[in-house]
């Protein structure tokens, strides 16, 4: 391989690694939002059931507190829409995995096929680099924070 081809392969490997960590980060963020949605939804359901039970016991203070808890938790679910955020992060993780696979196929197969250096340069800059740039604003979710689980 020429020096230029080796540099292109090195960059494609970096892109593959970046896509791997980005995908893992988005999958972790999706899991956290799914758990949050489940916890708050369960809280609202249990509080609503308990409010109904305590209504029969004529314990007004408990009924009022449970009704407020149901209202707050339902409002949080409606306002934050954690299900939509989790789905968005999951979709982003899938797209990053697709970029990772394309980068791997590129440097493992296409770079070894002996294509011209110009062809390789066009593939890396236009196809792979362009996808990463497009993907940053496409999925509708902020990138997840760097978490230790994403690097493991």
Residues 6+ positions from 12 with CB-CB distance below 8 Å: 103, 104, 106, 107, 111, 124, 128
pTM given for the model = 0.74
Cβ pair 150, 98 in contact under 8 A? no
Q: How much is the pLDDT for 116?
A: 41
pLDDT in tens, 21-78: 999 999 999 999 999 999 999 999 999 999 999 988 888 899 999 999 999 999 999 9
Cβ pair 15, 128 in contact under 8 A? yes
Pull the structure tokens for residue 132. 């990463």
Domain locations in the chain? 3-142
pLDDT in tens, 109-146: 777 776 545 555 665 565 555 555 555 554 556 666 65
pLDDT in tens, 6-26: 888 888 899 999 999 999 999
Q: What percent of the chain has pLDDT over 90?
A: 55
């Amino acid at each position: 391989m020429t020096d230029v081809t080796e540099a292109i392969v090195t960059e494609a490997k970096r892109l593959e690694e970046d896509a791997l960590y980005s995908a893992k980060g988005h999958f972790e963020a999706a899991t956290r939002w799914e758990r949050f949605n489940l916890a708050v939804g369960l809280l609202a359901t249990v509080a609503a059931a308990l409010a109904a039970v305590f209504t029969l016991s004529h314990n007004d203070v408990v009924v009022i507190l449970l009704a407020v808890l149901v209202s707050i938790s339902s409002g949080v679910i409606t306002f934050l829409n954690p299900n939509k955020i989790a789905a968005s992060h999951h979709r982003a993780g899938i797209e990053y995995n697709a970029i990772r696979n394309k980068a791997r196929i590129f440097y493992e197969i296409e770079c070894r096929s002996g294509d011209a250096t110009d062809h390789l340069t066009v593939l890396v800059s236009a196809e792979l680099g362009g996808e990463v740039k497009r993907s940053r604003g496409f999925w509708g979710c902020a990138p997840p924070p760097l978490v230790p689980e994403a690097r493991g």
